[in-house]
Amino acid sequence: MDLFDVYSLYDITPVKGEGAYVFDKDGNKYLDLYGGHAVISIGHSHPAYVNAISKQVSKLGFYSNSVKNPLQEQLANNLEKISGVKDYNLFLCNSGAEANENALKVASFHTGKDRIIYFENAFHGRTSGVVAVTDNENIKAPFNQNHKATKIAFEDSEAVEAELKKGDVAAVIFEVIQGVGGLDEASSEFYQKIAELCKKYNSVLIADEVQSGYGRAGDFFAFQKHNIRPDIISIAKGMGNGFPIGGVLIDNAIKAKPGMLGTTFGGNHLACAAGISVLEVIEKENLLKNAAELFEYVNEKAAEIPQIQKIKGRGLMIGLEFDFEIAQLRKELLFKHQIFTGASANKKLLRILPPLNIKKQHFDELFKALTIVLDLK
C-alpha cells in the first residue's frame, strides 16, 4: 500500500536524535534548528524524558477517560505552577489542531453564537473548523467553506469591533506571534483592545499558543508580555517534546458539562508522563531564561550579516528576514552544512525553532554556515 502523497519530503531519513542534533540512516549528523515545527522543546532523547516515558509504559501506557487518571491532575497542577497562569481548567487532547477545534467549540457553547473572527496570515490547523479560520485557501475543501468565519487585517481593532457589534461572534482567535504566517506580532495596545472588545460584546478571546507557548517565546506564554488574560488558551507542539499531546486551558468562568468535549486518546497515561517530564525539565534547566538570552545573542550575530534586513519573533521563535527569497539558502544549509531550518508564508524569512536548551555554540554553527553560503569575508 502506498502512502497518501500530501507531504513534500527531503531525501533524508533520520534514525536517531540527541540534544540539538539528529542523525540519518547513513550516520550523517544534522543540527536541528527547526525542531520538527517547534515540537522538540527539551532536546531529542533527553535522559529525563526517556526515563519518564519508559518507566510509565512499563506500568501502563493507556486507558480511556472512563477511569480516573491522577497523572492528568499532576500535569495540570505542574502547568499552573510553572506557567503562572491561574484559574483555568485543563482539557487534554492530542494535537494543536484538535486543541483549537475544541477551543472554538467551547466558545460557541459558552456564548450560543456561531461565527469566528480570525486574522490575515493566521494558521490554526488543517482540520474542519480550524482550517476555516486559517488564511490559506489552498488547503480548504468546499466542506470547510461553510463555517461562519470572518478574516480581518492584523491590528485592525476598528474592523474587529464592527464585526463584534453584529452580535453573532462566538470568538476571536489569534496567534500572539504568527508562526507559518511569518513571525509577525501585534502591539500590546492591539491585544489589550481586542480583549476589551470581547468582554464588551460577550465574545470569547482565544490565544493560540500552540507554537509560541511552553517557553518558546522566552515567557511561558507569549501573551503574558502583553498583560492580557485570554478566556481560552490552546497548547500543543512543545508540550510533549514529540509525543502527541495537546490541551485547552479554559477560564473557570466557562462551565463544563458532561459530554461537551471528549477524546479517546487525549490525556492518556503515557502522554501525561511525557508532558510532566517536559515541564520538569523546563523548570529545572531554566529554559525560559535560556530562550530569552539566546534571542539577544542571535540579534548580535545577525547584525554581522548585511543581507539580514530584520529579526522577527522572540525567544527561540525566530525569523531572520533576508533581502532575497531563501528557498535556495535553506537547501544549501541543509545539504551542504547539515542544518535544518524552516520557512513561512514570507518567502524571505528563515524560520528558527530549535530546542529550548540549545546553546550559543549551536548558533555559531548557523552563522558560520551563513557566512560561507553568502560568501562573506
pLDDT digits (tens, 9 = 90+) for 89-100: 999 999 999 999
Boundaries of every domain in the chain: 14-46+286-373, 48-284
Contact, 341 vs 35, CB < 8 A? no
Beta bridge partners of residue 31, listed in sequence order: 21, 339
For the 48-284 domain, the top CATH level (class) is: alpha beta
Q: Binning pLDDT at 50, 70 and 90, where does residue 223 land?
A: very high
pLDDT of 268 higher than 90 = yes
Average pLDDT score over the chain: 97
Q: What is the DSSP letter of 319?
A: E
Q: C-alpha cell of 20?
A: 540539538
Task: Catalogue the long-range contacts made by 22-31 (C-beta closer than 8 Å, 24 or more residues apart).
Answer: 22/340, 28/338, 29/338, 30/334, 30/338, 30/339, 30/340, 31/338, 31/339, 31/340, 31/362, 31/365, 31/366
In which residue are the cell numbers 511561558 written? 220
Q: Binning pLDDT at 50, 70 and 90, where does residue 147 land?
A: very high
Q: Sign of the CA dihedral 217, 220, 222, 225? A: negative
pLDDT of 206 higher than 80 = yes
| CB crowding 3-23: b at 16 or more within 10 Å, else e | eeeeeeeeeeebeebebbbbb
Q: Binning pLDDT at 50, 70 and 90, where does residue 106 land?
A: very high
Q: What is the pLDDT of residue 208?
A: 98
Q: Binning pLDDT at 50, 70 and 90, where does residue 376 land?
A: confident
CATH tag for 14-46+286-373 (out of 3.30.830.10, 3.10.105.10, 3.90.1150.10, 3.40.140.10): 3.90.1150.10
Q: Sign of the CA dihedral 153, 156, 159, 161? A: positive
Amino acid 272 reads C
**Cβ atoms within 10 Å of 211's Cβ, excluding its own:** 26
Mean pLDDT confidence for 109-131: 97
Q: Which residues contact 224 (CB under 8 A, 6 or more apart)?
A: 84, 85
Mean pLDDT confidence for 319-345: 97
In which residue are the cell numbers 501585534 written? 186
Mean pLDDT confidence for 127-132: 96
**Cβ atoms within 10 Å of 273's Cβ, excluding its own:** 26
pLDDT of 377 higher than 60 = no
Beta bridge partners of residue 308, listed in sequence order: 322
Contact, 240 vs 278, CB < 8 A? yes
Q: What is the pLDDT of residue 198?
A: 98
pLDDT per residue as tens digits for the range 271-328: 999 999 999 999 999 999 999 999 999 999 999 999 999 999 999 999 999 999 999 9
pLDDT of 173 higher than 70 = yes
CA dist., res. 16 & res. 27, Å (int): 9
pLDDT per residue as tens digits for the range 57-70: 999 999 999 999 99
48-284: same fold as 14-46+286-373? no
CB hemisphere CA count around 294 (13 angstroms): 28
Mean pLDDT confidence for 350-370: 98
Q: C-alpha cell of 32?
A: 536541528
Q: What is the pLDDT of residue 283?
A: 98
